[in-house]
Amino acid sequence: MNHDSSSSFQGDLKAEHIERYSRQLLIKGGFGVEGQLKLLNSSVLVIGAGGIGSTVILYLAACGIGSLSVIDFDDVDVSNLHRQVIHKTNDVGMNKAESARRAVENLNPTLSCKIIKEPLTVNNALELISSHDCIVDASDNPQTRYIINDACVLSGKPLVSGSAMGIEGQLTVCNYKGGPCYRCLYPKPNVKEGNKSCSDNGVLGPVPGLIGILQAVETIKIITGTDDVLSDRLLMYDSLQCSFLRIKKPPKQTHCPVCGPEATITSMKECFEASQTARGPSCSLAKSEPRNISNSLSISCTEYDQIRNSGDTHILLDVRGKEQFDLCSLPGAINLPLGSITQQMEYISTISNGTKPVYCICRRGNASVMATNKIVEGLQKYPNIHSVKNITGGLTSWRSKVDKSFPNY
């Protein structure tokens, strides 16, 4: 206990700590001074400074976590700002971890905030995770989640895991006091679900923010030793229904490859081999053009721009979903989502009428390749379709090479 003759009071906390954290110090039920001291002496690693990480970082910093580390290799983009509230417009182009540190220092300069401006990989995960008391997974791809989980199990660290997509989110605590790990809950990556991203499927801004706040609460409970940590439950949130559902998780699995008695993942090398089928940070956005279409069936955006400027009559099919088409489109484009192309072949044949070539476009040039191939397959049955070509690179390429005023989303 502090009892300095030069001090006007005695107690285990400094005056500045009492003033800053007084409202949570007054909480009944065992938190108080003892809980605050545990927070001040703790270290937490937050992996990801995006939509979920934003609120996790801010609330953990505000509550007095002594040492906070943030890892994120990505830069702030203007499309992040509707949900990643830790960043500001002036931060666009800055590394997210650096931007987060600035926000933390402005909010609570009494704590230590360290940043890592590189991806979390099998090469650095164990070293980073083992040096912290609690780990918060605020990442946005399945491969990283499995790497985090395995490193937490191997180093004996509790993991607070959260995710959000569209209008829904979920939260759980893994590897806590011998409880189930992430692989117990999700033994194998769901390839179909894992390929989803906020960039493609959208997300309601407050949803990841709420999940992040709940992760901060669970982290505080773990550090302070509060009972009823969300270790044996999965919490699911539906924003449209404003509903929370707590689902009992399966117990720790005896056949789990990382935390089971006959574990086959005993090092990060084995984790790497077991996580290869999951989407990783390098492919969080589908940027590359598929190579399953011949050059004769493709034209560049600049070539298509010349066709538009020449006034040649043609059909432009925009094969994105309606939600994306309603955001922005090229004048004169007809919206036929990829999934409807086969059913709309008669219609395409009618509007082409043997005289108008058909061009397919999408966001990045991926769906339009598939649409072009589908139409090509039907040419024999529908000979009235004059011709069909894919516009390489889609609207993303159109913006960069033809019209920089076209919205980027």
Does residue 116 sit in the same domain as residue 265?
A: yes
Does residue 145 sit in the same domain as residue 183?
A: yes
Does residue 240 sit in the same domain as residue 335?
A: no
| CA–CA–CA angle 142, 115, 112 (5° rounding) | 125
Q: CA-CA distance, 149 to 170, in Å (whole number)?
A: 16
The residue among 248, 283, 318 that closes a domain is 283
Query: What CATH number did the domain enclosing 303 receive?
Result: 3.40.250.10
- Buried-state track 301-311, b at ≥16 Cβ within 10 A, e below 16: beebbebeeee
Q: Per the domain annotation, does 35 fall within a domain?
A: no
Q: CA-CA distance, 206 to 87, in Å (whole number)?
A: 15
Annotated binding site for ATP: 51, 72, 79-83, 96, 140-141
Does residue 91 sit in the same domain as residue 166?
A: yes
Query: What CATH number did the domain enclosing 94 receive?
Result: 3.40.50.720
Q: Rounded to whole angstroms, what are the CA distances from 281 to 87, 141, 337, 342?
A: 20, 6, 27, 33
**pLDDT for 301:** 97
Amino acid at 29: G
- Report the number of distinct structural domains present in the chain: 2
State the catalytic residues. Answer: 198, 362
**pLDDT for 227:** 82
**pLDDT for 275:** 74
Does residue 277 sit in the same domain as residue 217?
A: yes
Q: Per the domain annotation, does 261 fall within a domain?
A: yes
Residue entry with tokens 């789990």: 256
pTM reported for the whole predicted model: 0.78
Q: CA-CA distance, 333 to 398, in Å (whole number)?
A: 14
**pLDDT for 12:** 86
Annotated binding site: 51, 72, 79-83, 96, 140-141, 181, 184, 256, 259
**pLDDT for 277:** 64
Does residue 248 sit in the same domain as residue 379?
A: no
SS3 label, residue 221:
helix
Does residue 214 sit in the same domain as residue 352?
A: no
Q: Per the domain annotation, does 61 fall within a domain?
A: yes
Does residue 233 sit in the same domain as residue 104?
A: yes
Does residue 278 sit in the same domain as residue 247?
A: yes
Q: CA-CA distance, 408 to 231, in Å (whole number)?
A: 40
The residue among 250, 283, 316 that closes a domain is 283
311: domain range? 295-401
Q: Per the domain annotation, does 252 fall within a domain?
A: yes
Q: Per the domain annotation, does 364 fall within a domain?
A: yes
Cβ contacts of 206 within 8 Å, gap of 6 or more: 83, 239
SS3 label, residue 383:
coil
Q: Per the domain annotation, does 19 fall within a domain?
A: no
Average pLDDT across each block of 10 residues of the chain; the chain has 409 residues. List them in order.
Answer: 54 90 86 93 98 98 98 96 97 98 97 97 96 97 94 98 95 96 88 58 92 98 93 96 95 94 92 71 43 88 97 97 95 97 97 97 95 95 96 96 94
Q: Which residues pair with 164 in a beta bridge?
A: 169
Q: Rg (Cα) of the chain, in Å, rounded?
A: 26
Does residue 207 sit in the same domain as residue 327?
A: no
Does residue 310 sit in the same domain as residue 229?
A: no
Q: Per the domain annotation, does 117 fall within a domain?
A: yes
Does residue 358 sit in the same domain as residue 256?
A: no
Q: Please report the sign of the dihedral spanned by the C-alpha atoms of residue 319, residue 322, residue 327, residue 331.
A: positive
Q: Per the domain annotation, does 21 fall within a domain?
A: no
- Let me know: does 156 contact 134? Beta carbons within 8 Å: no
Q: CA-CA distance, 86 to 55, in Å (whole number)?
A: 7
The residue among 237, 256, 283 that closes a domain is 283
